[in-house]
Structure 1
Amino acid sequence: MAQDTTTGGGASPGVVPFPSTSGDDQPKSPVRFQEPLFEALPPRERPGFSRQNSRSSLTDEGKKRSKMSMWGLICLTISMAGAQIAWVMELGYGTPFLLSLGLPEQLTSLVWLAGPISGLIAQPLIGAISDSSSSSWRRRYWVVASTIALIISTVALAFCVGIAKILVDIFTARNPTDPNTGKMIQNTAIGLAVFSFYVLDFALNALQASLRNLLLDVTPAEQLTIANAWHGRMTHAGNIIGFTLGFLDLGSWPALEFLGGDQFRKVCVVSIFVLVFTIWITVATQHEDARDEEFKFSSGSKLWDIINNIYRAVLTLPKPVRRVCYVQVFSFMGWFPFLFYSTTWVGEVMAHEINADPDVDTATRAGELAMLFYSIMAVVAGTLLPYLAQRDQRLLAGEKDEDEDAETTRIRAMVRSWKVDAARKGEPLKLPTMPFMLRNIWTAALLLYTAVMLSTFFIETVLQATIAITLLGISWAVACWVPFAIIMEYLKEMDEQSEKNRDQDVTAAARTSGGPRDPESGQQARPIHQRVMSTPARLHQQGYVTDRTPLIRRHSLIEAGTVTDMAIDYDSSQPAAGGTVLGIHNLAIVFPQFIVSLVASAIFKAVDSVATTPEDPTGGGGYVYYGKNGVAWVLRFGGICTLVAALLTRRVPPTKTEKLMRRRRAEMNFTESP
């Protein structure tokens, strides 16, 4: 606050002599003016305050995050590969391991409810809690904590039988030769395994949510698309490594002989080492900036405030984000049947091809081989497809903030210079090419998935089934990339819009509550920041023509839409709680699991209630694959759901950046035309 330097001392606070606003060495003036209202406000409520800038205590030049290198993106996203290996370990070995412990088959479905339950709870809760923190470790803290929980649960699974024996010995005084002791050890091992799977699922969901939130926080806005593409690539790489570990005979590795046990134990231990190594790289190389307490809750009822914050966020979710969530609901109603039953479907196709029930291990290996090819295809597609959406720097905004008129002038001057250069070289003028829009790529991937699922009517051999599954790697690469890239771009736009809304609110308050007064007239004058922001654009949009109306043609801009027309409406003046929104988005992903479980059960009951063979027309042979076709119908149901999702993607609006790029490209076309 400026100090009073008038004679006599004792001036009211907030009043300083003109022309100075501070200091005692300025000449005195009989004219006083009131300090602008926003100067007395907390820093985060002043005009021009940026939430992203507030995260750092650096100078203005250092506040804006610099562009990340490819190595930086790899270090940021490599931890997702480690997390995915843990998920593949659970998916590929979980059910056989539980059955080997003696858990009834009909109860295994209850264990796998851990996935959707943990997704519904862990991801939005972790996102909201980390949003409420102002620490420079608000995301990495949960990354480390989730990793520790994941390690403990995985070790408990790998050694659950040995741990069960120790627990029985400690808490009971039974004779080891007593037959009931073996039953007690078995029940304890089953209980420990089920509990460990639930802990593992909660930890895995918390880890994935924290890694997504970290990516959102540390990645510059213009690199979110490529960062999410790297996230998807690492996910696919984790799939490949995980399925490869399943094929390798780890028991023959001398370095792992001391572990004893079966293949599952060794896969668990190897996955732990890979997980720790990848998480260490990310945590050690990424640095978050401390920020102000924008989302800090009252300490008295923090948990309730967090839950209430999630509830309010669901109700007030911006329309573009809500539409992405609608797409995800139907999209994953199609994906979950494939993820759960693809290997089983390969076994049923094999049974149809050989006209007999195949060996279970042989059928399982055939299904795992198809999934390995699927993972490889996902990596290839995840590497190549982002180039379709790569944005030409010439279509992006300039380095300096500029209004629409200044940008139009700059674009036209730039195109004219390109014309001159092209004419000098005797070459045709080549304008920047518009990349594929993210929602268009998403639509195409969902339509491909639908086509493959409906092709199950005609697939009769394992080779055909393997090719179909491999093609779905393209759709999965898009599913792991595009929705998250769109959501994160929306979040950045929400953040920027909230800053503008907050600035406008404070500006209006300064204007109505008494701003600085003109030293000559004594009347209240507009603050400097108001005069700078003043523009005749609104009058021009309403059709009023004045002597200040710009003399720049708007033909191409009208065709492409003005900035105001293209802006997505985010009404809130509060910054976007990125972790909370990503958690809500995850709800749309995991919720379909409950629906798919019910629908799949109904389809299995209707289609596979009686499986017959030529040798056993009554269907009493207990065949695993032969004569069954329920999985194929579940996959077809998923294909119909993804068709609905593809139609809904057309209702997802392009991001602001995409719209502005389209407008700039239209302006370039207009300037190029004679």
Structure 2
Amino acid sequence: MARKAAAEWVGTPRIRGGSEPVRMILLTFSLIGLQLTWGLEQTYCTPYLLSLGMSKSTTSAVWIAGPLSGLLVQPIVGAMADRCTSKYGRRRPFMVGGSAVTSLCLILLGWTKELVSIFVSTDSQYGKKVVIVTAVLSIYALDFAINVVQACCRSIIVDVLPTQQQQTGSAWAARMAASGHVIGFMIGTLPLVDILPTWIGGDTQFKKMCLVATLGLWFAISTTCYAVQERVLLRRSEDDSTSGITGVLASLWKRIWNLPPRIQMICWCQFWGWIGWFPFLFYSSTWVGETYYRYEHPEKQNQSQGGDALGNIGRLGSLALVLFSVITFASSVLMPYFVRKPEDDDETGTGMNGASKSSRGRFTPRPPPSLSKTCQTILMRIYEKLSTYDYKPDLVTTWGLSNLAFALIMVWAPFVRSLAFATTLVALCGLPWAVSCWAPFAEMGIEINKLAHGGNANGSISVTAGAATNRGYVPVRPSMDIDDEDDDIELVETANRHVRSASVVSSGVLHLSHSHDDGTSSSTGELAGIYLGVLNVYTTLPQFVGTFISWVVFSLLEPSRTTVVEEGGGGATSGTEGDVADDHKKFLKLEGVNSIAVCLFIGAVCAVVAAEATRRLRKMS
């Protein structure tokens, strides 16, 4: 049977920088700009749409754009990028192109009225409708464009780093995302209208934030694109010759239904975990403020204290989310030091191949000679005893523990009766959230690299004809030259029944193909985009499930009659929402079961299911 043509690659992935932390920062720096854009949309776009005259129910329907775009765009773009043969690499062209569209959408969103007024009078009813439609379409386009950039920012980490550094790279990605969130929130709290002149970003806070997000996105994306060099795909393998949206969708569909067992379990862990996180991310700030009005019965406030009940709910919820963001950032910085890395398995406990190691480190520490022999003997015995225990959990175990921690925190939601307690619970969730932003991508990156490199722990492709190796990534020094003598190299992995063939021609082009049990084949690292896209599908679907669960809970527990809290938070009267049209009155459900707390409790139950899924994932190791 004739062998199908293998994919052709040229170059070696490399990252600028003189130290490992600097290289990791440069590789993941793009996520800061992404988070600035997401933060702007989540914080400002709802009030902006309301200010244009949209109703709250209609505004809530607009936000289906987020999960919809994530469900469609990331897998498709990831698969298309996998097949990209641009001389600049597979990911960077999509990152730049997506950033350009995102910038245009931000400008269009911030200056919607001004741009529409060029064609239609915005004072007329027709003009106002055109403004609303334009703003909504801008948000949809913005969501789709951001997902294009995000898909490739994640994929480039998997492409460049070898298996043993996937966990570290994902940890740095979580740190950069948390940093972007904190930076964006801090900038948003500044009175930019007073600080910056009108000619810089216009005359409103929203316009200036749009400009800040645009500049921040371009700076972050440009930094990563400049610092990282990708391998170039010269020609796809014959099995991956399908092109166009139809071919991409067919390949995506096939991958979803033929996922490797561990990747499938990672996706299920993500699925159940995100059903748990959905109500927290969308409703926690409102829950904090509502708890204050429900159980602490604030006395009538004067105007200087802020008598708007709705405004106070937002302010109190924002304070809780600030603490949540700070703990998330601190956890993302510190947590990786307390989790065992893949390379540690080669030095401690059991190795990657399951072989037992006799010692934990490279040397055995000795007690100070000044101590008595008895003390030295006791200390040595204590050390030997401790050295037999693997006191650092691996990442999968940490992921499972974080799911349990989130469940233990949110299970108290229905019993909360004070603002301080609610704020504390929200803030504590920053720890498990940091792990949830880190673990899935790290584990997925490790599995993708194992598929690409036959499970080799260090992510290298061993050259049997000589001593040279093509490592997964190198620092800023020039790309490694491949020896011409290493031709027609055969790599056979009998354990997984994968047969790989690689050949190097005199031009420095690497030919490499993989054969899988399902009859498909792909080039090394060629599946990073599509597999991360599949992971995003399992991240997005829970948002639809969570929306349905929340709708059912709200429908059952929120009757048509509500309690009206007048401005100032003082008295309360009973009536229907339709009976009260006074803008000086705000609506809060202060009696009966707290429906948001019930949603949070259901999320805690789902987090327990996610913890069980991670336990099963660990058994599959």
Q: Same fold (TM over 0.5)?
A: yes
Matches within 5 A, 1:628-647: 629-647=594-612
Is the 1:329–1:592 Cα contact (8 Å) retained in structure 2?
A: yes
Q: Describe the superposition over 1:592-622 as per-residue Cα deviations: whole angstroms up to 9, x where unpaired.
A: 1111122211211211223236742445566
Confirm or deny that 1:70 pairs with 2:21: yes
- Structure 1 residues 66 and 462, CA gap change in structure 2 (3 angstroms): closer
Equivalent residue number for residue 82 of structure 1: 33
Question: For residues 550-629 of structure 1, what are the structure 2 equivalents within 5 Å?
Answer: 574-575=522-523, 577-609=527-559, 610-612=561-563, 615-618=572-575, 623-627=586-590, 629=594
Which residue identity is paired with 2:443? I
The one-letter code matched in structure 1 to 2:103 is I
Task: Give the secondary-structure state (helix, strand or coil) at the position aligned to 1:137.
Answer: coil
Q: Does 2:222 align with 1:271?
A: no
1:43-73 per-residue CA deviation (whole Å, 9 max, x = no partner) reads: x76xxxxx8xx64447xxx999999711010
State the one-letter code of the partner of 2:601.
R
| CA RMSD of superposed structures (Å) | 3.9
- Alignment map for 1:113-192 (pairs within 5 Å): 113-135=64-86, 136-168=88-120, 181-192=123-134
Matched-pair contact (CA < 8 Å) for 1:353–1:460:
yes
Deviates more, 1:344-353 or 1:292-301: 292-301
Change beyond 3 A, Cα 1:416–1:73: closer
**Deviations, residues 466-496 of structure 1 (Å, cap 9, x unaligned):** 1111111111100110111111111111112
Task: Give the drift of 1:573.
Answer: 5.4
TM-superposed CA distance for 1:251, in Å, is: 1.3
Structure 1 match to 2:278: 336
Q: Which residue of 2 aligns with 1:481?
A: 438
| SS of equivalent to 2:144 | helix
Write out aligned runs for 1:248-397 (5 A): 248-255=190-197, 258-294=200-236, 302-355=244-297, 359-391=309-341, 395-396=345-346
Q: Could you say which structure has the higher helix fraction?
A: 1
Aligned to 1:227: 169
Instruction: Write out per-residue CA displacement over residues 329-353 of structure 1, whole angstroms, 9 at most, x where no aligned residue.
Output: 1111111111111221122112113
C-alpha distance in 2 between matches for 1:187 and 1:578: 42
User: Is the aligned partner of 1:218 residue 2:160?
Assistant: yes
Query: 1:521-553 CA distances to partner (integer Å, 9 max, x unpaired)?
Result: xxxxxxx999x9899x99xxxxxxxxxxxxxxx
**Count of aligned pairs:** 536
Counterpart residue number, 2:413: 456
Q: Deviations over 1:157-194 (max 9, x none)?
A: 1101111111216xxxxxx9xxxx52222111101110
In structure 2, relative to structure 1, the CA distance for the partners of 1:300 and 1:473 (3 Å cut) is: closer
**Structure 2 vs 1, CA of residues 384 and 418 (structure 1 numbering), >3 Å: closer, same or farther?**
closer
Deviations 1:141-165 (A, max 9, x none): 1110111111010111110111111
Q: Which amino acid aligns with 1:277?
A: F
Structure with max Cα Rg? 1
| Change beyond 3 A, Cα 1:246–1:362 | farther
| Match in the other structure for 1:546 | none
Runs of 5+ consecutive residues of structure 1 not aligned to the other structure: 1-36, 46-50, 170-175, 504-527, 539-567, 660-674
Q: Is the 8 A contact 1:498 1:573 kept in 2?
A: no
**Which residue identity lines up with residue 603 of structure 2 in the other structure?**
G
Q: Tell whether the 8 Å contact from 2:32 to 2:176 is kept in structure 1 after alignment.
A: yes
Q: CA deviation at 1:418?
A: 5.0
Q: 1:376 to 1:571 in 2, by over 3 A?
A: farther
- Structure 2, unaligned runs of 5 or more: 299-306, 370-375, 462-487, 497-515, 565-570
Amino acid at match of 1:137: G
TM-score (norm 2): 0.77
Q: Rate the CA distance shift 1:360–1:257 in 2: closer, same or farther, 3 A.
A: farther
- Name the structure where strand makes up a greater proportion of residues: 2
TM-score under structure 1 length normalisation: 0.71
Q: Distance in 2 between matches of 1:361 and 1:458?
A: 25
Check conservation: 2:411, 2:601, Cα contact below 8 A. yes
| Offset at residue 465 of structure 1 (A) | 1.4
Once the two structures are overlaid, the 10-residue window that deviates more, 258-267 or 615-624, is 615-624
The Cα shift of 1:638 comes to 1.3
Contact 1:456 1:636 in 2 (8 A): yes
Report if the CA contact (8 A) 1:232-1:480 is conserved.
yes
1:105-155 per-position Cα deviation (integer Å, ceiling 9, x unaligned): 211122101011100111001110011123342100111011111101011
Secondary structure of the structure 1 residue equivalent to 2:244? helix
Match of 2:563, SS state, is: coil
Maintained 8 Å contact 1:358/1:625: no
Of all paired residues, the percent bearing the same amino acid is 28
How many Å separate the matches in 1 of 2:57 and 2:256? 35
